Each structure stands twice: as C-alpha cells, then as structure tokens.
Amino acid sequence: MSHSTTPPPAASAKPRRRVPLWDNARFACIVLVVLGHATQRLTYDSDIAQSLYLLIYAFHMPAFAIISGYFSKGGPPAKRQMARLITDIVLPYLIFESLWTLTKYIVEGQADPNLTKPSWTLWFLLALGIFRLVLPYLAVVRWPLLWTIVISVGAGYLPNIDSTLSLSRTLGLLPFFTLGWWLNEHDVVERLGLLRRRPWWSFAAAVAAFAAAGWIAWFFVDPWRDVNLSQWMFYDDAYSALGGTQWWAGGVRLALMAVALVLCAAFFVLVPRRMRWWTHFGQYTMYVYLLHSFVLYPFRESGLLRGLDPTWIWLPIVIIASVLIALGLATKPVRWLFRPLVEPRPRWLFADPELAGAETRRDDPTGSRRPREIPRPAEPIPPGLTLPPRT
C-alpha cells in the first residue's frame, strides 16, 4: 500500500526576497501614468504643464516596459504561465473594455464596442500580452535588441500598422521590454552592483539629465507643439500621419528612444533603494492602472481641467491629487472590492482548475511578484507507508 503526500520543502528553499528598488520604481511609474493623464487637459492652456507632460511621456512608459521585461521569462511558457496570460491579461482586458463601452454609452449616449481598438489605457494590457508571446522567439535569435530596434523604427514607415490590437505601440516599445529581459538574462544589474551602491556622481548626473530635459522641454515648448512632439512619443501613429514624410523620419524615433533610454537610466538611479512607507504599493500597480482612468474621466470630459489659472497654483494641486489617487487605488479596501475584475480567477474556465491561480502567490502583470506564504510542514508519514518515487 502506498500513500501520496507532499514532501517537506528543502531546507534551502526560501521565499524570494523582494527588492525594494523595483517596487519603488513601479509605484513611481504608475504615479507618472496618473499624472500624465491628469495634466493632459492642462497642456492646452499652460506652457509649464505642456513641458511637464513632454518630460513624463519621454520616458515613463519605456521605463514601465523595461521593468516588465526584466521580470519576464524568455523560455518556452509552462502551462501556468500560459494560464496567467489569460487570467492576468486577456480577462481583465475583456472586462474593462466592456466597462468602458458601457460607460461611454451611459455618459455619451453612444459606444462603439470593438475589442480590437483598446479604450484609453487598455492598450498596455494588450502590449504586455504580445510582449510575452514573442519573447521566447526573440530569446533564441542573435542580437535580439538590434532586431527589435529595427522592428520599432521600421513599423513607423508602414501606415497599415495602427492602433488595432495596440500593435503600433507594442512594436514601438518592444525594444525597451526586450532590454529589460536582456538586463536580467545577462545578470547586468547584479554584476555591476547597481542594487547595492549608487555613487554620488551617478545621482548628480541623473539630476542633471532631468534638469536638462526639463529645460529643453520648456524653452522650446512652442516648436515642440508645432511638430506635435507628444504624439511622436506615443509610438502610436505612422510617421506620415505625424508629418514625418521624409525618408529620415525614423531617425526621429531613434532619437526619442535614445532620450528615453537616458532618462530611464536617470530615473532608476534616482529611485530609492530602501524600503519606504509606500514601497508595498508597487505590488499593486495594475489596480491603479486599470482604475485611475475611471476616476479621471469625469474631470477630463467635463472641462474642469481647462482654463485653470494661475498654473503655479493648479498644477501643484493636480500633482498632489495624482499621487493621492495612485495611493488610494492601491489600498487594501480598493483591492478587495475590485479584485474579481482586476485579478479574475475563473476555475471553471480551465481543464485543470488549479491553473486559475488558486496558489497563494500571484504575479502582477507588470512583473511584480507577490510574497509567497511560507508553506506548512507536511504531515508525518505513518509507519509502514512509503512515498511514491518523485518524477
């Protein structure tokens, strides 16, 4: 007679230690996402708001893509990884796209239900899903970074690559996602000791980089408006649609990617490396990402954010409000209330119900790995019973 039971965990098996830097970076990025969307209406009437908007969009989504790539695996996906693509990406997209369609119908009296055209912020969910689908293929070719840069720049020349299934943005930001994976794959961060030390000169250089970028954004704000620079930073339209009909239009995207890379490096240098009171909120960025647009929607559509003067009073208020919105949407009561929508776990959907993610650890789609509960020791094996051989 045999008896199957779970063997006790090995003595060396320990929960993975969270690195505060990544949670801090995630939360800082999601605050910038909220702030960017909150200031968009202010840019019509304020040069300072326009400059801040350009500075944010120059790097914040590339930084998010780098973080997501850093925590992604390049090997063939296992069953659980495939299931998580459904539960963490596909199902939330379907749920929130349906909610947006209903919202637009109620508020605007019309709606265009089209799952191939993501509403507002939902494009990044599709981008994450496509990133993870193509990464195993990129991982087996030589020079994956070079190929993704060629793809990103080349896609801008093709007007038939548009926002359908967020393909234009996905291909545009693919080099940053691949860079994040490459940094982890080659253990660059650990080998250079970037998590353990931050030389004073790197901090000074990072501050100088943002100061220079901010000054350039403000001093040349009128020329940037004339060339519609913010639209170039979205990676969403073909060059011809943005006025870039010259053969060298791809060079503009290359230049923007270089600027984004410099600012991303400066951003990661400035992010605190130690625990802060807000660090744990970095585990729940998907709640903020999916829910903040519903909070901002009434303010954006009602016109309350237009014509606010003086800017030196209203812009700081919008900044503070954006931070508070991000904090509030990551709190435990909000997570408890909206978890069925943000983290659906439909066991009925899978042939193996365990693939729905009933395990104690859940992964945030942006790469945040939740703490694993320490497993309980196995029950002692009664005398005379044997364990089946492990396969």
Structure confidence by residue, pLDDT tens digits, 177-219: 999 999 999 998 888 787 777 888 999 999 999 999 999 999 9
pLDDT, tens digit, for every residue of 268-300?
Answer: 999 999 999 999 999 999 999 999 999 999 888
Helices 123-138/60-70 angle, 10° precision: 50
* pLDDT the model gives residue 238: 94
Q: Which residues contact 82 (CB under 8 A, 6 or more apart)?
A: none
CB 193 within 8 A of CB 209: no
Residue 92 pLDDT more than 70?
yes
Query: Phi/psi class of residue 381: alpha, beta or left (left: φ > 0; alpha: ψ in -120 to 50)?
Result: beta
Residue 320: C-alpha distances to residues 29, 32, 313, 315, 374 (Å): 15, 11, 11, 9, 38
* pLDDT the model gives residue 356: 80
Separation CA 308–CA 41 (nearest Å): 10
Give mean pLDDT, residues 138-154.
96
Q: Which residue has the tokens 């931050």?
A: 198
Helices and strands of the chain, counted as H and E runs: 16, 0
Residue 390 pLDDT more than 60?
no
Residue 150: C-alpha distances to residues 95, 155, 204, 358 (Å): 34, 8, 33, 40
Residue 32 pLDDT more than 90?
yes
Q: Which of 187-196, 260-269, 374-383 has the lowest average pLDDT?
A: 374-383
pLDDT, tens digit, for every residue of 105-132?
Answer: 888 878 788 889 898 899 999 999 999 9
Question: Residue ranges per domain, the chain?
Answer: 23-356
pLDDT, tens digit, for every residue of 314-366?
Answer: 999 999 999 999 999 999 999 999 999 999 999 888 888 888 864 434 445 55
Band of pLDDT at residue 146, cut at 50, 70 and 90: very high
* pLDDT the model gives residue 377: 44
Neighbours of 47 (CB within 10 A): 15
Among residues 7, 23, 73, 61, the alpha carbon closest in space to that of 273 is found at 23
Residue 39 pLDDT more than 80?
yes
* pLDDT the model gives residue 364: 57
Q: What is the pTM of this model?
A: 0.87
Cis peptide before 144 (omega within 30 of 0): no
Separation CA 288–CA 295 (nearest Å): 10
* pLDDT the model gives residue 365: 52
Q: DSSP letters along 242-297, please?
A: GT--STTHHHHHHHHHHHHHHHHHHHHHHS--S--TTGGGGGGHHHHHHHHHHHHH
